[in-house]
Amino acid sequence: MVWLTVVWVLLWGDLRLGNVLAGLAIAFAVTVLLPLPAVASGGRLRPLGMVRLIAHFVRDLIVASVQVGVQAFQPGPPVSAVIRVQLRSPSDLYLTLTAELCSLVPGSIVVEAHRLTRTLYLHVLDVDTAGGVEAARQSVLDQEERVLRAIASDTQLAAAGLEPVRDANRSTGVTT
C-alpha cells in the first residue's frame, strides 16, 4: 500500500496531506477490495538456473540492441515475420515470463498469446539476422527452457518434456 501511495503522489506531483490520504484510500481499495488471484507455480527456485537465465537475457539484450542499431542505418526494409511458437509448459506463469523476456529483447515483440493452446505469436524485426524463422522459433523455445530450469519443479520440467534436475545442490528448496 505504501508503494501505491508513493506512485499516486508522484503521478500527481503534489506532496500535500490530502493527496497522500487520497493515495492511501486508492491503495487500500486496490489491494483489499480488488485483490489479484494468487499465482501458485509449485516450482522451485534454482540459483544456477536463475543465473543462467539472467546472464543469457543480458547477452541477448546487448546483442539484439546492436543488431537493431545496425539495422536502423542499413538501406531498405528488413525482412520481418510473425512467427508462431508452441510452448511446452501449460503454466500461465511460465508462458507470461517467456513472453515478457522475449518482448524485452529488441527486435522481437509478442503480438498475441493463447494460454489454452500455449502458443505465442511474435513479430521478429529482421528474420535474416535472427538466422531464419526456425532459428527465431528455437530461440523462444530456448528462452522457455531457461525459465523452466530457473524456477520450475522437476515434475513441471518432466511434463514439459525436459530432463529434471537431479543434483540436490542446484535447488534451494524454496518454493515459488
Q: Domain residue spans in the chain?
A: 2-33, 47-170
Question: For the range 117-120, what are the long-range contacts, defined as Cβ-Cβ under 8 Å and sequence gap of 24 or more?
Answer: 117/86, 118/86, 118/87, 118/88, 118/89, 118/90, 119/84, 119/85, 119/86, 119/87, 120/84, 120/85, 120/87, 120/95
- At 168 the pLDDT is 45
Task: Name which of 13, 167, 11, 141 is nearest 89 in CA terms.
Answer: 141
- At 130 the pLDDT is 72
Report pTM.
Answer: 0.74
Give the length of the chain: 176
Phi, psi (rounded to 5 degrees) for 163: -70, 125
With a CB cutoff of 8 Å and minimum separation 6, the contacts of 91 are: 41, 152, 156
pLDDT block averages, 10 residues each, the chain of length 176: 92 92 93 81 87 96 91 86 94 93 92 94 86 90 95 90 67 48
- At 100 the pLDDT is 95
- At 37 the pLDDT is 78
- At 74 the pLDDT is 86
Phi, psi (rounded to 5 degrees) for 32: -95, -45
